Amino acid sequence: MKITSVRAKTYEWKGKTVPPQGNFCSNAMDLLYAKEESMQTFRFHGWTVVEVETDDGHVGYGEVALAPRVAKQIIDLYLKPLVLGQDPWDYEYLNQRMYRATHAWGRKGIGMAAISGVDIAIWDLLGKSVGKPVFKLLGGRTKERIPCYYSKLYRTDLKAMQEEAQKYLDLGFSAFKMRFGYGPAHLQHGVVENLKSVAAVREVIGYETDLMLECYMGWNLEYAKRMLPKLARYEPRWLEEPVLADDIDGYAELNAMNIVPISGGEHEFTLYGFKLLLDRKAVSVVQYDTNRVGGITMAHKINALCEAYSVPVIPHAGQMHNYHLTMSTLASPMSEYFPMFDVEVGNELFYYIFDGEPVAENGFVQLDDDKPGLGLTLKTEYLDQFDIIE
């Protein structure tokens, strides 16, 4: 089997979107001046789909969600020539080839995201070529089904947040992640608002559920140190990305306080990046995304690393490329789950591109033992709502 074609197609949503509301999620731009800009950088309305085809007609799908137009350029110009004509079963060699050939400028960020898209597509077609789901190639089923946590609850009106929490509690979810709307720039008023929102959600979901708290890098170390003791009484399972992804000392300091477990990793890359986080005890939960770290080949190694360090892996975003790895490793107790909504920040856009993404039932997602590859096909229903750059 040889790879005969690599196609990167960028899907840009041009359909209706829900406008961002108020302080719906703190983020890294909050500490800068322009508020409008801060909210704009938080939207992701494009996706690059990678199709890798072989001489015997198998097509695998991968995807890149970061800077999708740039990712397409990297794939077209740099990665495609490295994998064309190669045997996809040599996936370790191909992954190393892409990683090493782009190392001078790749390493972290968009270079690794582009590699991830190609690697995921290769695994999808390998599964299809032998009629097995990808998780069966990675170690198989380690759990009956995958527990998942409801991940939305952006900071809006508190009543609306409570109604949202109630609705998904009634649908059977027993774990929830909410977003803070305020950070250091909002002074003590923001501290009070942040605490009010946590109290409001706990009031609805009670204490026999997990509650996770998301900062999306919108805080700083000093603010996070002040917030942790105030948050402890709400028994959060973790506090996510309190500071910039590069501030590993900051993560380590907060995690060492042992007040609330600190999580992170959705903006970290490669085996080396995660070894550093683990060596420094910077996070209590690892949250890589397979479509950023270097694909399934790399994520599988990071799983092994986390197992050895006894740190759970709960990948960013859910989605098939992560669910298959979660199913196949005991180091991964659950998944994040983005529900399908009208297009808002873009976290839901993959449902508009792919068919086959599992829908949670009673707080669990299931993978099919008999569905080859990742189990995804391209959706036609919303095609006219996208500009597609080929």
Question: Which of the residues are catalytic?
Answer: 316
Whether the CB-CB separation of 137 and 367 falls below 8 Å is answered with: no
Whether the CB-CB separation of 62 and 119 falls below 8 Å is answered with: yes
Q: With both helix axes pointing from N to C terminus, report the angle between 221-231 and 248-256 in degrees, rounded to the nearest 10.
A: 30
CA distance 136 to 134: 5
Burial 360-383 (b: 16+ CB within 10 A, else e): beebbbebeeebbbbbbeeeeeee
CA distance 262 to 113: 24
Whether the CB-CB separation of 148 and 336 falls below 8 Å is answered with: yes
Partnered with residue 54 across adjacent β-strands are: 3
Kind of pairing between the strands at 146-151 and 364-365: antiparallel
Q: Tell me the residue type at 170.
A: D
